[in-house]
Structure 1
Amino acid sequence: MEELWDAVPEFPQVKDLSLDEKPLFDTLFNLFPPVISEYTFTNLFIWRHAYQLRTSRFKKFLLLLSDRGENSFFFPPIGEGDVLECFHMLLQYLEERGIPPKVGRVPESLIAGMDWKGAGLVIEFDQAQSDYVYLTEDLIKLEGRKYHRKRNHIKQFRESFPFQYIPLIPEWISECLRLQTEWCDLRHCEAVPGLLNESLAIKEAFSHFEDLGLKGGAILINGRVEAFTLGEPLNPETVVIHIEKANPAFDGIYPTINQAFLQNEWSGYPYVNREQDLGEEGLRKAKESYFPHHMVKKYIITKG
């Protein structure tokens, strides 16, 4: 652990997030189990270019900076120690560089029990980045009237298309990338920064599939991948689904891959985190249609 820790520069020096840091992040996430969907090494690594992620260390905290000029912000520090001291230092660092000081994606569990106002800091709820968390059993069984439409969509898909669910292995990655390219052509990813960044993240995930220890699933129709999904444990009780993509020509394929992936790979985890809606109405409705058990509320911390 000391050797891994020493490889990270001491604050205010920073370095680009790299694959070499996976053992350090994994160790810290085991010691301090995260609740926010951002906090797996995989998620941080595959989105590192979009967020321009840099790492640093301060005392017993590992620090993460999204270094994007005026839009820069820190993620919550990982570790233990004087949290308020650390937050003040991070906010001051940004302020001294003429950047609006902000620590984002701060979970409610870190907010609770601290006198932020007394410390001269302001808390702002961030609805768009808050995570939707479901009971895994609910999304596998889809029981009751509220899931009637989901069950119908799956039934229609099963009756209409001869398909096969498979656990994802490296041999199928090229097929997944083919589907992703076709999906992007339909959605004009090149013209939409969010979709372009997601496409790059998906390519990163598949390029380092085995190194990252990802688990995936796919639906085959006539020997072709028409849906794929990627996930991993977030903490001992929760799995997080990072990616879910499907050919929209097959009605019902999205709820089918969702159910099959959880049933085949993750039934031992009580909860599933399906990440945030990013303030997009379509995503919000899609996530609400599965009736979340609870939300992981996230906050932005700024100076008063």
Structure 2
Amino acid sequence: MTLAGYKELELEDREAVNAFLRADPPRTSELTFTNLFMWRHHYRPQWRAEAGCLLLALAPNGQEPFGLPPTGAGDKLAAARALCADLSQAGARPSLQRVGQDLAQALAAAGGFRAQEDRDQSDYVYLAADLAALPGRRYHRKKNHYNKFAKNYQFEYRALEPPLVGRVLEMQESWCALRECHLDASLASEARAVYEALSHFGELDYRGGVILIEGRVQAFSLGEPLNPDTAVIHIEKGNPAFEGIYAAINLLFVERAWSAMTYINREQDLGLEGLRKAKESYLPQHMVPKYVVTPEFT
């Protein structure tokens, strides 16, 4: 579905989109150009400007289109109404999803909108200093995992650079073969997103970190600044044959790449029990609640 007056997101749109994000730094993990671009084959993002705000509509294959929260320094109430009207005109049931708490409450208070919390999409946010050091008894088990990895394996951590991109893609392909990504639509979509990010390394605004063992990439992580005090981690992968490797890439990437940040946003758990347990085990400092906002005027 293509909305009238909207443009499909392309690499050439990076600066136009980033201008709105700089004017209104986001707290929710979806709102970076890198994230929108790398997932574009799955979510099919479209955009236009209205009332001084960025309007973003997503039309995932086989799913109902929806809007993301209007972003920018303009009139967000007018922008939200315009986005919902555009979705309705295109034949969709209009809704805004992944909406932060402040905007959701403001829209509901203005009248004409209903807001319902979406726990499965809410983001986990940690203190960067905690993830980089795993201090104290509360992180004792995590620190033991890292120490065991460091003791058992001769490894090298390196920041992602162009010569390493091919080796990261090889590791991603091996990971997908192990997990049979071709049999799982969500894993296949994620694999495409990783490929898009890596094949445009240097053109997008993210950084990466890798762990090499005997010259082969066995773990990698990709992230970027979300706002002035927070980095968001989009992708993290490790070879499970190396015990403790996830604890290692988590710690080292934050320590080496994001020590200047106060917070690390590690995105949502999607309602998956195992993922929720893993994210809770790192003791989030706070959550970023998100809401589904639906209009009453269409």
Question: Shorter-chain-normalised TM-score: which range?
Answer: over 0.9
Following TM superposition, by how much is the alpha carbon of 1:65 offset from its aligned partner in structure 2, in angstroms? 0.7
Distance (Å, rounded) in 2 between the aligned partners of 1:137 and 1:109: 27
Cα distance change on mapping 1:166 and 1:77 into 2, 3 Å: same
Distance (Å, rounded) in 2 between the aligned partners of 1:21 and 1:44: 11
Following TM superposition, by how much is the alpha carbon of 1:80 offset from its aligned partner in structure 2, in angstroms? 3.2
Question: Which shifted more, 196-205 or 61-70?
Answer: 61-70
Contact residue 104 and residue 293 of structure 2 kept, 8 A:
no
Q: Map of 1:153-164 to 2, 5 A cutoff?
A: 153-164=145-156
Letter paired with 2:100: P
Aligned match of 2:220: 228
> RMSD of the alignment, in Å?
1.5
Aligned match of 1:8: none
Where structure 2 has 5 or more consecutive residues not aligned to the other structure, the ranges are none
The answer to whether the aligner puts 1:184 opposite 2:176 as a matched pair is: yes
Contact residue 12 and residue 56 of structure 1 kept, 8 A:
no
The superposition leaves residues 27-48 of structure 1 with CA deviations (integer Å, 9 ceiling, x where unpaired) of 2221111111111110110011
Distance (Å, rounded) in 1 between the aligned partners of 2:90 and 2:69: 19
Aligned match of 1:78: 71
The answer to whether the aligner puts 1:245 opposite 2:203 as a matched pair is: no
Task: Decide which of 95, 99, 107 is 1:106's aligned counterpart.
Answer: 99
Aligned match of 1:132: 124
The superposition leaves residues 249-272 of structure 1 with CA deviations (integer Å, 9 ceiling, x where unpaired) of 001000101101111111010100
Letter paired with 1:277: D
Residue aligned with 1:210, SS? coil
Task: Decide which of 58, 62, 67 is 2:59's aligned counterpart.
Answer: 67
Q: Map of 1:208-287 to 2, 5 A cutoff?
A: 208-287=200-279
Contact residue 123 and residue 287 of structure 2 kept, 8 A:
yes
Following TM superposition, by how much is the alpha carbon of 1:84 offset from its aligned partner in structure 2, in angstroms? 2.5
Aligned match of 1:97: 90
Contact residue 131 and residue 276 of structure 1 kept, 8 A:
yes
Distance (Å, rounded) in 1 between the aligned partners of 2:80 and 2:271: 26
Aligned match of 2:81: 88
Contact residue 237 and residue 269 of structure 1 kept, 8 A:
yes
Cα distance change on mapping 1:115 and 1:194 into 2, 3 Å: closer
Distance (Å, rounded) in 1 between the aligned partners of 2:278 and 2:217: 23
Q: TM-score, normalized by length of structure 1? A: 0.92
Distance (Å, rounded) in 1 between the aligned partners of 2:147 and 2:129: 19
Task: Decide which of 41, 52, 74 is 1:49's aligned counterpart.
Answer: 41
Distance (Å, rounded) in 1 between the aligned partners of 2:110 and 2:250: 45
Q: TM-score, normalized by length of structure 2? A: 0.94
Letter paired with 1:121: F
Following TM superposition, by how much is the alpha carbon of 1:59 offset from its aligned partner in structure 2, in angstroms? 2.7
The superposition leaves residues 228-275 of structure 1 with CA deviations (integer Å, 9 ceiling, x where unpaired) of 111111111001111111101001000101101111111010100001
Question: Which shifted more, 67-76 or 283-292?
Answer: 67-76
Following TM superposition, by how much is the alpha carbon of 1:62 offset from its aligned partner in structure 2, in angstroms? 1.4
Residue aligned with 1:71, SS? coil
Residue aligned with 1:283, SS? helix
Distance (Å, rounded) in 2 between the aligned partners of 1:141 and 1:118: 44
